[in-house]
Chains A and B, each alone.
Chain A
């Protein structure tokens, strides 16, 4: 209808999958020294940390900082999964991912490592083809 209506309707969308995709694309390990992941594979709520693990091992993300050491501990104690990130300045981030979705994990990670949560562009209307 009009530009304004398009803008209003665009803001009304609720699309978590898109936010996850944007957050994943915005991942950047420049300020990270190491990531220690600790999972119990039989814990019921470990999908989010596995998704996070998968997305930080993607080649494009690894290339942002090849020196990042990713260490994984597979436990067998039915405890909640977590990971500890050591930043360049020695600060540590202990994120326990129970009850988080993958989007929450990645957005938190982006925010705490000083990156924009949803990337520089953020959500934006699709360009017309």
Chain B
């Protein structure tokens, strides 16, 4: 059934879709718990129907980890892992929804951040179109330490100036609130 929704993304995300249908399935049946479109043409008639398919892994269990959490070695996804990122992306450079990637919330958001960083660091090149906002200083490639570091802004210290020292507004205000002072 899920093949329908993503018919333009062919085989590359086949495993992803498999995971997705495992996520969605609730019943445990031996005959199979997923559906796939079956289409065949016989003497001028096209027959379309849904066919039960079984998955050797069975439906998803409660305590099962997502495919990025489950690594034996603790690997953190970064924007440099372009080949991993591409497995979770569409042809137009957007990320697939969590229902299709089968990731947990945390990893999904991390993946999206990494994809954005990969665009900005120029690692995808022109593969997905070049309209990713590149105006002004953004025309240069940028690089980060990890996926969150683009949000962690720092004050840049310039020696010899006092500008970055926080100043309280002192105009028309008594310096101290207590009138006794």
Contacts and interface: CB of A to CB of B under 8 A. Distances in A.
Given A4-B119, A96-B49, A99-B35, A12 B97 contact: yes
Interface majority SS (helix, strand, loop, mixed), chain B: mixed
B87 interface: no
Given A11-B96, A14-B100, A99-B35, A91 B44 contact: yes
Nearest to B99: A14
B95 A8 contact: yes
Contact of A99 (B1, B7, B94, B99): B1
B141 to A, nearest CB: 14
Interface in B57-77: none
Given A8-B95, A11-B94, A107 B49 contact: no
Interface string B32-56: 0001010000001111111010000
Nearest to B41: A91
Contacts of B45: 84, 91-94
Contacts of A12: 94-98, 108, 112
A112 to B, nearest CB: 6
A3 B99 contact: no
Nearest to B100: A14
Contacts of A98: 49-50
A54 interface: no
| Interface size of B as a range | 20 to 34
B80 interface: no
A124 interface: no
Contacts of A76: none
B46 A94 contact: yes
B116 interface: yes
Given A4-B132, A11-B95, A100-B50, 9 more contacts: A3-B132, A8-B94, A11-B97, A12-B95, A12-B97, A12-B112, A92-B45, A96-B50, A99-B50
6 contacts: A2-B133, A8-B116, A12-B96, A14-B98, A94-B46, A98-B49
Interface of B: 1, 4-5, 7, 35, 37, 44-50, 52, 90, 92-100, 108, 112, 115-116, 119-120, 132-133
Interface of A: 2-5, 7-14, 19, 84, 90-96, 98-101, 104, 107-108, 112, 117
Q: Which 5 A-B pairs have the closest CB atoms?
A: A11-B94, A14-B97, A99-B50, A92-B45, A96-B49
